[in-house]
């Protein structure tokens, strides 16, 4: 079968009217300002915990056996690495750069395939707008958003601009990209993996290319597994990856239908233009059977299925963005070529309003705070979004300079107080801890004797249901120091 993956020849460059060029410059400046402001947004709960654990891992603490969390090692290595470059700011800067790089890769995939010069000229801005403006601040730095980059790169390697067939090196490098996804979140690799599989099966030399991609996929996971084995952490890692999730699902109803409805509704509203255009393209995809379009449609179908079997956090849907955006921009180009430009523009303007409002509010509030240009404005942004000054005041009122702290609840308190987690089990998401993990935590607290323990309201409810052993340790070894909006603060007797 001959390859039809490669893009058509690049159309001649467009030299638009001066006002169009100025409009693109102004749009680029606004998107750059938004990206700059996003760098100064504070880390929220998940990101704070991953930074703390990543920092400990980089300092030599044993992952899963010395410090426990349920995610796979890629996230801790990423956060530990960016922490070495500059802490919280470096973590958010890295997240923003990943989004921009992903947009660049997506634009590189789609732009050579566009026939209309106006769509081609605006394509990079459309891609960046879709991937940046509507991103939830709580989703910055989450696994799904970070993994859009290697996922899109894998597709670019197999469906790039070259006219020739897929080469073995490209197939192997696409596999390496999938291997990166594996060590960040194994189940997630299935989503771009199906797109890679479709592209390889529809290319020439498909069996050799499949073999090269398979070998490439093993490289990064094998290196991480070897690292864990050398450190003596592999048994704990395998238990955490394959046994612990089933224990959590057995004791906690983590699939909340209300959360599912809100997550899907939010995604549908903010990404409405891309969803409508991609859905509009489906009949054409099935009729033309172009390899890239078929691969990206498979990406979306499998991505929805993978989301359905997880626990329905809204940011899990972000892995759909690269495929969604490529199909949407290609469909927009087709509609413009067919002479439907004004009708499409009017419809898209209406559908884009929620994203514009959300992005405008994000940028406007950040600019009102000073845009992060000064230390005072950065502190104001951190307080408005993450209550960092409030947290600092609450911890300072309780902690002595040399106190150790254990937080059963929001890890921002652990991060802002700049205290290491003194036991193996971290205190985030206590509501999903199985009973045996609560018992282990009680033993760890009793043995480590942290000076101060903070229990927030949500964790207190979970402790009342399954954490009676920890409750007994707190009653026996600790006294209540104070109670405030953060929760109850216990000091060791």
**pTM for the full predicted model:** 0.89
**Contact in structure between 35 and 141 (CB atoms under 8 Å):** no
How many whole angstroms separate alpha carbon 57 and alpha carbon 34?
32
Note down pLDDT in tens along the chain; length 493 residues.
444 454 445 544 444 556 677 777 888 888 888 888 888 889 998 999 999 999 999 999 999 999 998 899 999 999 999 999 988 899 999 999 999 999 999 999 999 998 888 888 888 888 998 888 877 778 889 999 999 999 999 999 998 654 456 788 899 999 999 999 999 999 999 999 999 999 998 877 778 889 999 999 999 999 999 999 999 999 999 999 888 888 877 766 667 888 899 999 999 998 989 999 999 999 999 999 999 999 999 999 999 999 998 888 889 999 999 999 999 999 999 888 887 777 777 777 777 888 888 888 888 888 888 888 888 998 999 999 989 999 999 999 999 999 999 999 999 999 999 999 999 999 888 878 888 889 999 999 999 999 999 999 889 988 988 889 999 999 999 999 999 989 999 999 8
CA dihedral 340, 342, 345, 349 (to 10 degrees): -140
Helix, strand, or coil here: 473?
helix
CA dihedral 399, 400, 403, 407 (to 10 degrees): 0
Pairing of strands 487-492, 478-484: antiparallel
How many whole angstroms separate alpha carbon 248 and alpha carbon 240?
11
| Residue whose structure tokens are 């897929």 | 166
Instruction: Give me the pLDDT at residue 161, please.
Output: 54
Instruction: Give me the pLDDT at residue 252, please.
Output: 61
**Contact in structure between 319 and 296 (CB atoms under 8 Å):** no
Helix, strand, or coil here: 478?
strand
Instruction: Give me the pLDDT at residue 400, please.
Output: 92
Instruction: Give me the pLDDT at residue 359, please.
Output: 82
Q: Domain ranges in the chain?
A: 18-368, 387-492
Q: What is the 3-state secondary structure (H, E, C) of 450-465?
A: CCEEEECHHHHHHHHH
Residue 236 CA: distances (Å) to CA of 46, 86, 184, 244, 427: 21, 30, 17, 10, 19
Could you tell me which residues come within 8 angstroms of residue 112 by beta carbon, excluding any fewer than 6 positions away?
A: 7, 8, 10, 161
Instruction: Give me the pLDDT at residue 30, please.
Output: 85
Instruction: Give me the pLDDT at residue 18, please.
Output: 63
Q: How far apart are the first and last CA of the chain?
A: 76
């Amino acid at each position: 079968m001959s390859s039809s993956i490669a893009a058509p020849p690049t159309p001649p460059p467009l030299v638009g009217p001066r006002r169009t060029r100025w409009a693109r410059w102004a749009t680029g400046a606004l998107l750059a300002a938004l990206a700059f402001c996003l760098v100064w947004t504070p880390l929220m709960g998940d990101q704070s915990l991953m930074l703390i654990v990543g920092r400990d891992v980089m300092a030599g603490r044993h992952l899963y056996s010395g410090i426990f969390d349920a995610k796979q090692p890629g996230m801790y290595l990423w956060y530990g690495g960016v922490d070495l470059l500059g802490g919280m700011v470096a973590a958010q800067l890295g997240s923003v750069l990943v989004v921009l790089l992903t947009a660049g890769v997506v634009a590189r995939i789609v732009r050579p395939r566009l026939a209309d010069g106006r769509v081609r000229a605006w394509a990079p801005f459309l891609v960046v707008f879709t991937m940046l403006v509507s991103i939830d601040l709580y989703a910055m730095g989450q696994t799904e958003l970070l993994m859009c980059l290697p996922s899109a790169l894998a597709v670019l390697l197999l469906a790039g601009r070259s006219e020739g067939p897929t080469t073995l090196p490209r197939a192997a490098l696409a596999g390496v990209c999938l291997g990166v996804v594996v060590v960040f979140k194994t189940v997630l690799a299935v989503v771009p993996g199906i797109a890679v599989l479709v592209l390889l099966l529809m290319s020439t030399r498909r069996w050799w290319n499949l073999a090269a991609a398979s070998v490439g996929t093993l490289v990064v996971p094998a290196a991480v597994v070897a690292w864990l084995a050398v450190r003596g952490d592999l048994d704990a890692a395998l238990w955490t990856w394959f046994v612990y999730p089933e224990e959590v699902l057995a004791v906690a109803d983590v699939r909340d239908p209300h959360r599912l409805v809100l997550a899907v509704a939010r995604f549908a509203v903010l990404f409405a233009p891309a969803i409508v255009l991609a859905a509009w393209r489906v009949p054409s995809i099935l009729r033309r059977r172009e390899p890239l379009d078929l691969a990206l449609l498979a990406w979306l179908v499998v991505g929805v299925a993978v989301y359905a079997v997880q626990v329905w956090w809204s940011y899990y849907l972000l892995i759909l963005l690269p495929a969604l955006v490529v199909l949407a921009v290609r469909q927009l180009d087709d509609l413009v070529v067919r002479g439907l430009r004004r009708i499409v523009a009017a419809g898209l303007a209406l559908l884009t309003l929620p994203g514009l409002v959300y992005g405008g509010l994000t940028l406007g509030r950040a600019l009102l705070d000073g845009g992060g240009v000064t230390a005072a404005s950065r502190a104001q942004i951190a307080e408005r979004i993450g209550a960092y000054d409030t947290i600092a005041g609450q911890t300072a009122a309780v902690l002595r300079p040399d106190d150790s702290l254990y937080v059963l609840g929001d890890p921002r308190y652990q991060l802002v107080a700049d205290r290491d987690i003194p036991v193996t089990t971290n205190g985030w998401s206590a509501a999903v801890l199985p009973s045996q993990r609560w018992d282990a935590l009680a033993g760890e607290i009793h043995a480590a004797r942290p000076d101060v323990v903070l229990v927030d309201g949500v964790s207190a409810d979970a402790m009342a249901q399954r954490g009676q052993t920890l409750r007994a340790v707190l009653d026996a070894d600790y006294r209540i120091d104070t109670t405030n909006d953060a929760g109850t603060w216990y000091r060791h007797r």
